[in-house]
Amino acid sequence: MKTTPIYGMMAEFDSATALVEAARKTHQAGYIKIDAYSPFPVEELAEAIGFHSNRVALVTLIGAAIGGLSGYLMQYWMMAVSYPINVGGRPYHSWPAFIVITFEMTILFGGISAVFGMLALNGLPMPYHPVFNVPRFVMASKDRFFLIVFSTDPKYDPAGTRQFLATLEPRSISEVPS
Amino acid sequence: MDQVDVASGKAPVIEPGYTFGTVTDKISSIVLTRPTSNGWFVGFGIAFLVTMMLLFALAYLFAKGVGIWGINIPVGWGFAIVNFVWWIGIGHAGTLISAILLLLRQSWRNSINRFAEAMTLFAVAAAGIFPLIHTGRPWLAYWLFPYPNTMNYWPQFRSPLVWDVFAVSTYFTISLLFWFIGLVPDLATLRDRSESHWARIIYGMLALGWRGSARHWHRYESAYLLLAGLATPLVLSVHTVVSFDFAIAIVPGWHTTIFPPYFVAGAIYSGFAMVLMLAIPIRKIYGLEDFITDRHLQNSAKVMLATGWIVAYGYGIEAFMGWYSGNRYDAFTLWNRLHGPYAFFYYLLLLCNIGIPQVLWIRKLRTSPLGLFLVSSVILSGMWLERFVIVVMSLHRDFLPSSWGMYYPTRWDWMTYVGTIGMFLSAMFLFVRILPMISIFEMRTLLPEAEVKAE
């Protein structure tokens, strides 16, 4: 037990407002490697911990573009190159007829990229995570709000960080074993 | 997220007095601690038996072929296509609620989107059966997809039927993703609150290790919004493509440009009717009147009223064009609807879809669960009749009187149709028992305490 490495220091709060405020102060105090946990999306929180942009939209755009292009090229190649048949004298490359499937493939690939891109960027699925070692953390999916300072943060030191978190008036503070 | 305005005169989306904890407890306890009632077993049992009837009808169909149905030449489409279009249409309300209303910031949707999405999935699954079995050789249905094969051929991409394959399979995939990704945070709640070891493991696996990190929520919200943005044109395209199956053909009564918008409106019309038919008993049985309030019933009723009028406009234009186009075949289709052998169903359709739903103008009825339930069942029947009128009445008398015929469904047609309703209901019964039927985390955002107050 004594040799268990420490993952971070965690503080528990009662409301979204308290958490956002605490996260903002912690960030301003110079802690960089921090994270916050809430039972529902809190818009201000990402900003408060210094997380500004995510690449989900970019991944989705790329996915959608690949889907649309491959949808159209697939039809072009199959209908005009690989297996050309004359249907009522229409041109082999009859693009208006290809629009529907191009559109559907754009949506399909875009949607799949959005979901799996989001999961991959989030590092999910991840069945084990150190924060679950804190017994009170089960409340994070109900009505409690948590803030963590990771032990990898350059400013992290067990006593000092605990002291700093105490000034934020949390409900409880716990050390997170990894 | 938007907040509930308790002070404004409108009925609230969620009754006052709830906290994060009580909302969580109330919804998750339905799944985790509430004992399974006898009523549930009876309901599920009946639905399950009806599903067995579907399997029986399908087994006999595979043994004998589509000759056991009432389809013939000229009416080659029959019940299979009527039911396909009906079910696909019902699914549309789920996506409308989850995607379009999300983009429009209609926060009242938060308490009905989860089960409306489940309804979409099960309805699309039921719909998907029909074109497959209607191919006659369903074991070769994978021929519909472009895969490299030894026959050295590809599907005909100029055919709306192939467009439909792509539209419906994309629709099912995106609906499934949307539904599942919405479930993940709630599955984490169930994982953390479940007392049973196995339930914790299963919910835990499904929750993918969700821990509610701010970074995760940030990306999650982006993905959710993007998915909504993608699903919105998708849902409009799906019934449009379904209508192309008809409109691209030259059969009188089908070859018309009004079909896409009128199909989409009809889909949402019937979908909201199904949402109400599910929501009204569910909120009663599980005591969820505080979450699915009169406001939800009212709003759904208003959507039905609006889409009902678009559908009525579609009927009007169809009739008008029958006369105005000067095309004798179109004119005859109109005459045949009004005076032909199936005229009764056309009048019944007008009564069910245009006549009776006008009672929704009465405010008292819009807030009466029983009244809405009855009107919804009328609309669902009406929308089924609409597809029957479109499919059968156009095909049975087309250009040449020498090729006219009649279509009578057989018991196998009925068993398959009723069987899919059983399958749909069985899936809904299982869903309300093992998954949170209301999105817990989205309900939390509706509470006044979710608001972050500025210092």
Closest-CA distance, B176 to chain A, in angstroms, reads 11
Picking from B19, B144, B153, B157 by the largest number of A CB atoms within 10 A of its own CB, the best residue to mutate is: B157
Nearest CA in chain A to B452: A17
The distance of Cα B130 from the centroid of its chain, to the nearest Å, equals 15
pLDDT at B83: 95
CB contacts, 8 Å: A36 with chain B: 213-214
Q: How far, CA to CA in Å, does B126 sit from each of B52, B264, B324?
A: 14, 19, 38
CB contacts, 8 Å: B182 with chain A: none
Picking from B230, B242, B243 by the largest number of A CB atoms within 10 A of its own CB, the best residue to mutate is: B230
Of A15, A126, A127, the CB nearest to B449: A15
Closest CA to A23 of A60, A53, A1, A50: A50
Closest-CA distance, B1 to chain A, in angstroms, reads 8
Of B21, B158, B209, the CB nearest to A142: B21
> Does the CB of A134 have a partner CB in chain B at under 8 Å?
no
Q: How far apart are CA B135 and CA B65, in angstroms?
A: 10
| Residues 146-175 of chain A whose Cβ lies under 8 A from any Cβ of chain B | none
Q: CB B174 to CB A101 under 8 A?
A: no
- Tens-place pLDDT, residues B25-84: 888 888 888 888 888 999 999 999 999 999 999 999 999 999 999 999 899 899 999 999
Which residue carries 């709003």 as its tokens?
B299
Nearest CA in chain A to B212: A37
Contact A31, A22 (CB under 8 A): no
Of A44, A57, A78, the CB nearest to B222: A57
- For A176, left (φ over 0), alpha (ψ -120 to 50), or beta? beta
Closest CA to B332 of B251, B262, B408: B251
- For B82, left (φ over 0), alpha (ψ -120 to 50), or beta? alpha
Q: CB B211 to CB A43 under 8 A?
A: no
- 10-residue mean pLDDT profile of chain B (455 residues): values are 46 78 84 84 95 95 92 91 93 86 83 89 93 90 89 89 92 92 91 87 90 90 92 92 91 90 92 92 87 87 93 92 90 92 94 93 89 94 94 91 92 95 94 89 84 72
Picking from B14, B18, B20 by the largest number of A CB atoms within 10 A of its own CB, the best residue to mutate is: B20
pLDDT at B2: 43
Picking from A94, A107, A112, A143 by the largest number of B CB atoms within 10 A of its own CB, the best residue to mutate is: A107
pLDDT at B7: 43
Closest-CA distance, A57 to chain B, in angstroms, reads 7
> Rounded to the nearest 5°, which phi and psi values hold at A6?
-95, 135
CB contacts, 8 Å: B200 with chain A: none
Q: CB B24 to CB A39 under 8 A?
A: yes
- Residues of chain A whose pLDDT is less than 50? 1
> Does the CB of A66 have a partner CB in chain B at under 8 Å?
no
- For B287, left (φ over 0), alpha (ψ -120 to 50), or beta? left
Of B24, B213, B237, the CB nearest to A143: B24
Q: How far apart are CA B411 and CA B420, in angstroms?
A: 14
pLDDT at B11: 66
Extract the tokens encoding A26.
């912690």
Q: CB A36 to CB B213 under 8 A?
A: yes
Closest-CA distance, B126 to chain A, in angstroms, reads 21
pLDDT at B130: 94
CA count, 13 A, side-chain hemisphere, B128: 19
pLDDT at B410: 94
Of A16, A56, A137, the CB nearest to B222: A56
Extract the tokens encoding B131.
């074109």
A vs B, Cβ pairs < 8 A, gives 208
Contact A110, A64 (CB under 8 A): yes
Q: How far apart are CA A98 and CA A76, in angstroms?
A: 8
Picking from A25, A28, A115 by the largest number of B CB atoms within 10 A of its own CB, the best residue to mutate is: A115
The distance of Cα B340 from the centroid of its chain, to the nearest Å, equals 31
Please provide the distance, in angstroms rounded to a whole number, between the alpha carbons at the two ends of chain B.
Answer: 19
Of B181, B216, B234, the CB nearest to A107: B234
Closest CA to A19 of A35, A2, A3, A1: A35
Q: CB B230 to CB A110 under 8 A?
A: yes
Q: State whether the Cα torsion B412-B418-B422-B428 is positive or negative.
A: positive
pLDDT at A20: 87
Closest-CA distance, A12 to chain B, in angstroms, reads 14
Of A35, A97, A141, the CB nearest to B214: A35
> Does the CB of A122 have a partner CB in chain B at under 8 Å?
yes
CB contacts, 8 Å: B214 with chain A: 23, 35-38, 42, 45-46, 48-49, 51
> Does the CB of A126 have a partner CB in chain B at under 8 Å?
yes
pLDDT at B88: 92
Alpha-helical runs (H) found in chain A: 16-28, 43-48, 56-76, 99-122, 158-166
Q: State whether the Cα torsion B5-B8-B12-B16 is positive or negative.
A: positive
ipTM confidence: 0.91
Closest-CA distance, B164 to chain A, in angstroms, reads 9
pLDDT at B241: 93
